[in-house]
Amino acid sequence: SMPNGQQIDLAANLLQLEAKLPHIPDASIAFHADRDHFSRWLMARSEIDIALKFRSLKRSDFKDIEELRNFIISSIHELRIQRQKGLVSRFERNYFDSDIREFVKIGDGSLGGKARGLAFMSTLLSQNSKIHQNNSEINIKIPKTLVLCTDIFESFVAENNLQFFSKPGFKVEEIVETFLRAELPEWLLKKIKVFLAQIRSPLAVRSSSQLEDAHFQPYAGLYKTYKIPNNHPDLLTRLFDLTNAVKLVYASTFYEDAKAFHKSIASQPFNDSMAVIIQVVAGEQYGDYYYPAISGVAQSYNFYPFSHMKAEDGLVNFALGLGKTVVEGEKTLRFSPKYPNILPQLSNIEDILKNTQNSFYALKTKNYQDGLNFRKHSNLEKIDLHDANEEFPVQKLTSTYLAGEDRIRDTWYAPGPKILTFAQILKYNDPPVPKLISDLLELGSKVFGTPVEIEFSVNLYPGKNRKPDFFVLQIRPMVAYEKRFKVEITAADIEKAFCYSSNALGNGINEEIEDIVYVKPDEFRCEATVQMTREINKINIGLVNNKRSYMLVGPGRWGASDKWLGIPVKWRNISGVGAIVELRNEKINADSSQGSHFFHNITSLGISYITVNEKKQKGVVKKIRDFFDWEWIDSLEAVSETQFLRHVRLTKPMLLKMNGKKSQCVMLNA
């Protein structure tokens, strides 16, 4: 109101008051401030703290009405942010403010496993001021998120008569085409349009399976994730892209990989229900592309500790750009957040040049074709590090190789090839990201009561005026961690074993495996790994049909996305496997599979994953070296044999012993 009683406008809630205050005349602001009307209005709505704060101040405390107006607006804005933090709010078309509501949902069903973990982390961060205080140099955030609950998926499938896809035998192309033709309800499209009208940043559209929640299992990589630029000038085009991505995530529920994985953990018929997470992608614009400085996965328990580290010190995989590099098991930098300076991958110049990341994934957000290519890397492009040499994240995170001196300088500002070492962060603590990761892992483990895994992204900014942003993208229990069995491996066990590994993941005793399928060492060729996959698939089908668990043995990275790094099997190709041996030898130059989606699915099922290092390790002194007895296994009669594989069967099950605490494994022919 004006001093003469003339009514200017009405505000029924905090959102309306904040929106209307910039347009209210100075005289009206002064009139209400002098009479504590703002304080009374807030007190009537139980906003006691801010009401008392307003009452303690007078108009004379501000240099003019404009400063007073800005103070009221900013205080109300901050109050609204604090009220929404940690809450999963219901999306309302007429009351949606993307600047305030960081986590909203549409629907009444389940959020699914991923979204539930993210909502939990949002609440945890909002209630734990200590972690923010102890890491004040970094903003810790949850990306803005909209969840389409499982009931929307269920009604979509029912209304479009898609239930028959739950049966086996459908090709991916057939499922995709049918789902893209199906229609989402009009009421949902209207709500998504309201969301898109306020959000113009790139979006990630990913699954959040109800089975992840029900079975405490990470279905990593089985369901698809799509990223879209979301910056087209036409809102309907952006709506079309987003709804197509949602339909494709729904479609992936019925892919054979998902069905095979489900069958391995559940006895009832396949019946998953899918929530979808629509999330603002962490990153910044660099030229035609959008990407974060760092993406990574952190685990609070490290089954591969080295030097003086403890398993409980955790493990982190770092990569420049979007997280596809990490989850596909491509070149990343692995370190303990407690000891970020200890980097075996970068122990000498040769290792640095060979092991460091030289390309990364980014989302093209300028000059892209209107018809998005959802099949190629989910709209991502792979960029050579050299082509992004002038962009800030590359300058911040790279070092320079001085060929004439055969050494590395921890700076971009020197002539010579650039090497991605993350030295500014890991060696010089600028910014102190490892400490924050360690604190988050400790907090998550304490609350969950078990070791946890966190996916994250980091935005870095030039200068000192803007703090880095650390985005928590997902948190889940490390279900591979088992404390149920205390297994001791003795010298006598090793003496009698046909296989020993000092680098094994898993814990317990397995006495159920009689069949061994192995790649014949003399026949292995990198260029033939796709054919090997077909041969493994055929043997797997026979063993699964006969309900026989088996051990799979071969060189390189199992489940590799690059056929030159290992055998590119999918879960459906090896769905009956009970243990896997990954050989590291001179025939294939690949780091172990840890960090890949394939690897997470294997370990989440409790399948033993054993790395046998057959290489001669320079400068490494061990009392006992890894070994696999090829002479013995070749002497066994073959059940079947292909060009590249042999399938043998023992007279009774082998004894497989795993000590997860020491990362040791022995296999004995019982």
pLDDT tens, 204-232? Answer: 998 887 554 333 344 344 457 889 999 99
The predicted model gives 536-542 an average pLDDT of 95
pLDDT at site 215 = 34
Contact of 153 with 208, CB cutoff 8 Å: no
Residues contacting 472, CB < 8 A, separation 6+: 118, 121, 125, 140, 141, 142, 440, 454, 455, 456
| Residue 613: half-sphere exposure toward Cβ, Cα within 13 Å | 15
Least confident of 182-191, 403-412, 476-485, 487-496: 476-485
Q: From CA 148, how far away is CA 156, in angstroms rounded?
A: 11
Query: Closest Cα to residue 40, out of 51, 31, 29?
Result: 51
Instruction: Give exposure, 172-210, as e/b (b: 16+ Cβ within 10 Å).
Output: eeebbebbeeeebeeebeebbeebbeebebbbbbbbbbb
Cis peptide before 269 (omega within 30 of 0): no
In tens, the pLDDT along 594-616 reads 445 465 556 556 688 898 988 76
Q: From CA 582, how far away is CA 504, in angstroms rounded?
A: 10
Cα diameter, the chain: 103
The predicted model gives 323-338 an average pLDDT of 85
Who wins on pLDDT, 36 or 518?
Answer: 518
Read off the tokens for 374. Answer: 């959802």
Read off the tokens for 93. Answer: 């078309």
Query: Closest Cα to residue 278, out of 379, 149, 145?
Result: 145
Query: Closest Cα to residue 146, out of 120, 188, 171, 115?
Result: 115
Residue position matching structure tokens 């001669």: 616
Mean pLDDT value across the chain: 84
3-class secondary-structure state, position 503: strand
3-class secondary-structure state, position 15: helix
Q: From CA 660, how far away is CA 460, in angstroms rounded?
A: 37
Residues contacting 341, CB < 8 A, separation 6+: 426, 427
Q: From CA 670, how far away is CA 661, in angstroms rounded?
A: 24
Residues contacting 593, CB < 8 A, separation 6+: 329, 557, 558, 559, 560, 566, 582, 599, 609
Read off the tokens for 265. Answer: 């953990």
In tens, the pLDDT along 122-164 reads 888 888 889 999 999 999 999 999 999 989 999 999 999 998 8
- Whole-number CA gyration radius for the chain: 28
Read off the tokens for 181. Answer: 């033709």
Phi, psi of 206 (to 5 degrees): -135, 165
Name the DSSP class of 317. Answer: E
Predicted TM-score of the model (pTM): 0.67
Percentages helix, strand, coil for the chain (3-state, rounded to 5) are 35, 20, 40
In tens, the pLDDT along 465-477 reads 899 999 999 887 7
Strands (E) in 94-178, as ranges, are 103-106, 139-141, 145-148
